[in-house]
Structure 1
Amino acid sequence: MIVSASRRTDIPRWYAPWLMNRLRAGEVLVGEPYRPHRLRRYALTPEGVDAVVFWTKDPRPLLPHLDEIKAMGYHSLLQFTLTPYGADIEPGLEDKGEILAAFQALGLRLGRERVLWRYDPVLLADAINVDWHRERFRALCERLSPYTDQVTLSFLDPYPGRPMDGLRAPDHREAAELAAYFGETARAFGLSAVMCCEAGDYTRYGIGRAACIDRERLERVCGCPLELKPDRGQRPGCGCCESVDIGAYDTCPTGCRYCYANRSPGRTAAGWARHAPDSPLLAGFPGPEDEIIDADCASARASQLRLF
């Protein structure tokens, strides 16, 4: 089993104490997104969890716990989003220079293969154009390439009912111009560039298809073959393998204007207020109205070594 922590909220930034309590307790409850009173109980043990994939914009609260996570027997890697946007777009993030320094420190500590950079989403606005991205993407490549081997790209996706307030995706011409620059620049700095959940073919720009939960990379992290199925629950074009997401929607206080996981500031504030570090749920406590189902938590380690 691969654990995602989390596509739905930034667990390393906001919920690191809760996560450590869940790992120490050896189990977690996760509500189904559209049936919140249907809870699945997952065993969190090194025998069943093959790897934990952390998704974050600021991992610093998690850093003091990395040695304990390793000592428990868990393998891990980080999907680390670092963009050049300011507080007008990503209001809940602190100084980007300090976050960049944390990325570099993690790359030295864990290795380039386990700290993966996300330049995501690529968006445009009144003061943000193609040239703006050119300048800042190159500067970040220069600063981050010694500490990671991959950059994941994607263009802004509008979601129904979630207004973007002046943010927009690049049009076809702008997307092609940016992709050509991103691919060439990443290659110049020794980075593999991949595109996440985009319908077009970007291979002509030297950009492959992303698999953020990537079997081959996870096998190298775990040191063994893994039998992982494609994740059918993600967006069209996603190349990920299956994982169990232990986060919850409407709980991330970072408040990024482009976020799809928070429906409104009021819902997010309510989710944050319900959080308790000692609960088995990320938001709230299980009650008598909840149905708890024990989920299959089998390891994906292959029973036989593959020859090819």
Structure 2
Amino acid sequence: MIISASRRTDIPAFYTPWFMNRVRAGFVDAINPFNRKQVSRISLRPEDVDCIVFWTKNAAPMLPHLEELRAKYPFYFQFTITPYGHDVEPGLPDKREVIRTFQQMSQQLGKARMVWRYDPILLNDHYTIERHLHDFAVMLEMLAPYTDRCVISFLDLYRKTERNTKPLALRPLGIPEMSALAEGFARLAKDSGVTLQSCSEAIDLAAYGIEHGACIDKERIERVIGAPIDVKKDPTQRDVCHCMKSVDIGQYDTCLHRCRYCYANTNGRMAEASFADHHSDATILSGTLRGDETITARKVTHLKIQPTAESQMDSLF
């Protein structure tokens, strides 16, 4: 079983004490986003978890716990670092501090566990193509010794993101703009040791050496755990998403970064209310169970392919 922690919120930044309590308890409850009365009880016992994929913009609160986690689980981080200021990402610390955290984690965990995300890419009068290329080059120089992968994507405007990004006066991001950015990024990264991939993009950037990637990445998971796995593409994600099937333990409307482009928050007020209703000793991320829920144990599917007696014999000769 692969745990996603989480597409819906930033658990390392805001909910590390809660997460570590759930790790020590051996399970976590996750509420159905569309029906609060449906709750999945998900095992976090090390023997049931093949890998954990963390998603974060600031993993500093998790630094003291990395060795405890590494002793129990294989895991890696999808770590977003963009050039945006507080006009776009008002809840984030100074990016130099965030980069230092990334570097420190890589020194402790190794490159394979640290994926840099430069996304989503948006354009306006301040964040131009030229500005992105300049900032990407600066960040690449600082991060290339600490990662082997950079994931890019272009902003998708959902109804809520259109509303929340209105003050930014965004420019359209068409194929010419995407191609110019992709060509520039690829040129800058060519000899850096960092491979570029796109995330959930319909546009084909292979001409620039940028392949379609997956955040829940079968190859990376196999690399981290040191064994092959049997896992299928996640059918609940969009067609352009190449992620493998996973179990998400987060909740929407709980992230305090307040990024204007965020699809997981309706607005900042709802996130603040959810955070105020968070209890680090609760089984769910925000709120408490009321007693009228149906709690169903999530079936554990072990993904690691165990070596056969024949393959073990072959390895002797």
TM-score over 0.5 for the pair:
yes
TM-score by length of 1: 0.96
Is residue 306 of structure 2 the alignment partner of residue 303 of structure 1? yes
After superposing the two structures, state which structure 1 stretch, 164-173 or 245-254, moved more. 164-173
* Partner amino acid, structure 1, of 2:179: A
Cα deviation for residue 161 of structure 1 reads 3.3
Identity among equivalent pairs (%): 45
- The whole-number CA distance in structure 2 between the counterparts of 1:130 and 1:251 is 32
Dislocated runs of 4+, deviation >6 Å: none
Partner of 1:3: 3
TM-score by length of 2: 0.94
Instruction: Summarize deviations over 1:268-288 as a string: whole Å, max 9, x none.
Output: 122111110000000111112
* Partner amino acid, structure 1, of 2:151: T
- The whole-number CA distance in structure 2 between the counterparts of 1:104 and 1:65 is 16
* Partner amino acid, structure 2, of 1:15: Y
Partner of 1:237: 240
Is residue 66 of structure 2 the alignment partner of residue 63 of structure 1? no
Partner of 1:189: 192
After superposing the two structures, state which structure 1 stretch, 147-156 or 98-107, moved more. 98-107
Partner of 1:150: 149
Is the contact made by 2:160 and 2:263 (CA closer than 8 Å) also made in structure 1? no
Instruction: Summarize deviations over 1:15-63 as a string: whole Å, max 9, x none.
Output: 0000000000000000111112210001111101011111000000001
- The whole-number CA distance in structure 2 between the counterparts of 1:167 and 1:4 is 31
After superposing the two structures, state which structure 1 stretch, 155-164 or 248-257, moved more. 155-164
- The whole-number CA distance in structure 1 between the counterparts of 2:20 and 2:132 is 37
Is the contact made by 2:258 and 2:267 (CA closer than 8 Å) also made in structure 1? no
Aligned length: 306
Is the contact made by 2:43 and 2:300 (CA closer than 8 Å) also made in structure 1? yes
- The whole-number CA distance in structure 2 between the counterparts of 1:87 and 1:44 is 36
In structure 2, runs of 5+ residues without a counterpart are: none
Partner of 1:124: 123
* Partner amino acid, structure 1, of 2:292: E
Cα deviation for residue 290 of structure 1 reads 1.1
Cα deviation for residue 221 of structure 1 reads 0.6
* Partner amino acid, structure 2, of 1:233: T
* Partner amino acid, structure 2, of 1:201: D
Is the contact made by 1:187 and 1:193 (CA closer than 8 Å) also made in structure 2? no
Give the direction of change, closer, same or farther, for the CA distance of 1:161–1:70 in structure 2 (3 Å limit).
closer
Give SS of 1:30's match: strand
C-alpha RMSD of matched pairs (Å)? 1.4
Partner of 1:218: 221
- The whole-number CA distance in structure 2 between the counterparts of 1:118 and 1:216 is 17
In structure 1, runs of 5+ residues without a counterpart are: none
- The whole-number CA distance in structure 2 between the counterparts of 1:154 and 1:195 is 6
Is the contact made by 1:214 and 1:241 (CA closer than 8 Å) also made in structure 2? yes
Give the one of 199, 204, 211 matched to 2:202.
199
